[in-house]
Structure 1
Amino acid sequence: MISNYDVVIVGGGAAGFFTAINIAEQAPKMKIAILERGKEVLSKVRISGGGRCNVTHACFVPNDLVKFYPRGEKELKGPFHQFCSGDTIEWFEKHGVTLKIEEDGRMFPITDSSQTIIDCFLNATQKLGIAVLTGQSVQSVFKGENYWKVETNQQSFKCEKLVMTTGSNPKIWEMLQEFGHTIIAPVPSLFTFNIKDNRINDLMGVSAVASVKVKDTKLKASGPLLITHWGMSGPGILRLSAWGARELATKNYQFTLQVNWLNDLDFDTVLEDLKTIKEENSRKIVSKFCPFDFPKRLWESLLLASGISLETKWADVSKKQLTELVQQLTKGQFQVNGKSTFKEEFVTAGGIDLKEINFKTMESKQHQNLYFAGEILNIDAITGGFNFQNAWTGGFIIAQHITSES
């Protein structure tokens, strides 16, 4: 039995639902189906942002917004001029969901619950008569003269327009390769670093704003760094992992990380500062007088690593010890052995080669009436709502193009 639709969307996640709803609102007579292989739709939306759903980011200028995408920066400029963060806020507002901005720019529903977003999408699909079909695992895709045929484990679907929003699904990527699309091999992005080192062993939960660099590469980033029981995490580390996704994969996640715990202060400046402090505070105990805005436990750990006991007075710190302390503060080296996934928010770098997409329409350059949105493409971003914004923008543009042709 074949089910006929105008549009079939494969993938029941954020991009799939947003595309379907926008098409149906602009062309109510179109028959649309969303096919999801799992038992539940929108599962990634449910867990995102710790269950609060980080919908977008309060960065409203397209040329600034693209800078958060290690892959996709150049290509997303045009799309973001069509549908940006401000448009996302307005869209959700119109659909009964008010968003709020947090201090770091991340935006969440005011309910602080991802269920709000899920309910918004499910209510809209129901109201608009969009078929949401779960347990539909795609087995094959066939291209006819002016139609597409999708075979799942349950039935066959025929449609004029086919939209793929399957995220990082290797099986679908393989099928698309058979249609002549190039797949950039996926590697993890957004991960934390596994480090076993005495200097940070008992400092779980301690954080500092630091700059980090992968030794002997151009990879560097800065931002809050969080010490965890397995090593290092926090925005600075995640940023580095996103931009270094490919290079760090080739190193098999074994490399030396250089940490400047004082962020933008360099070795010479800190050395001069500490010499002055040593002279002016000679009678004070070093461990009780940290001259930097710096976690006390980390300061004590770096003193010990520099050969300075916690009872030492500034006057008794030798020149060699002082130099070693500055080295630890500004050029500390930590051996990274492996990575860990950041929470449940697993993001990959990789997917359909962006050269094969028309970013004015999100349509395949190889095949008419075949569209892509979300993480199926070789686009990814750091945390903060940016990956969702890419999904909303892609879905909106596809809907605009499909409905303008109908």
Structure 2
Amino acid sequence: MGVERTLPTPEADDLLELVRDLVDKEVRPRAAQGEESAEFPRDLFTLLGESGLLSLPYPSEYGGGDQSYEVYLQVVEELAAGWLAVGLGLSVHTLACYPLASFGSAEQKERLLPGMLGGRLLGAYCLSEAHSGSDAAAMATRAAGTGAGYRIEGAKSWITHGGVADFYTLFARTGPADSGANGISCLHVPAATAGVAADAPERKMGMSASPTAVVRFDGAEVGADALVGERDKGFAIALSALDSGRLGIAACAVGVAQAALDAAVAYAGERRQFGRPIIEHQGLSFLLADMATQVEAARELYLAAARRRDSGRPFAKQAAMAKLFATDTAMKAATDAVQVLGGYGYTRDFPVERFMREAKVLQIVEGTNQIQRVVIGRHLAREDRAG
């Protein structure tokens, strides 16, 4: 993308160069056809794993990359700029690994994390349900104790990688039906478990190559060692994971916005009207200037939140702000890019119509932007009471 970056170490700079090269050679050239065919690019995720990119923010003792979130998120941005299905897929896999990496026992980490982080396996995060999307604490999926483990009954909706994942990080009710957020547990469920199956992928506006499906758990049984963290304390794990996941979505959004900006600038520099390139006309140049400013601001917002996370400071409010602003920016940048290209922007011969369709989902996933405003408002209220 040619974006000037300040990275914390020379090794991180080398990593970003590796990612840019991979995107230019392997990812971006396949995006348009991949979305047309709606074929999940599993081989690209294998390549990411072999390149060490599926494990960046996790400890090296378990096969991770020991990278900061500041660096990891910039990798996500570069991948999303090349093909959102790949950048978002990396973010979702990282989200699926987070609960076990952060709250799992030493035995679980030693037994499971190397496979989860090594590139052979791909994860999915199962929280939402058809009737409890934004109100996740109202979930109905149940994991009943069997003495030897848990028997799971229920269905999870809108699951990225549903049907292609190798493991599901599942949140299910282990307490009474009326226990709300206090009776939810986190479970590690291999996709090959009997009784686990996915419906046909949803027919979406965009992101066709990234399957989103209902995942059903019909009497699926797992052992007691599938429990991640404390029983009935999983809702806090889910919220903690989403704080980090929202930064991944923000980075994806900046990648899409930057790609839209790059396409618009390139076209405006070549297209001539009234005897000169249209980028020299003030009305258009101002639109591009606003786009560039918003993209840069969105990038700095997610990076600032990432630095707070890396330093161990609270970052939930900042993550919600980054997700809100970056995804709104992506939607506006993609829409404006279509306008810059005019009639060509509305055709599939140019990528900006795809960016516009892809940007929309980023305002919805991992908490709609209305929910982000709720999160930010609650933090402001708490800060006011504390102050």
> Fold match, TM over 0.5?
no
Q: Which has more helix, going by share of residues?
A: 2
**With CA pairs under 8 Å and 6+ residues apart, which has the higher RCO, 1 or 2?**
1
Give the TM-score normalised by structure 2. 0.26
Q: Say which one has the larger Rg.
A: 1
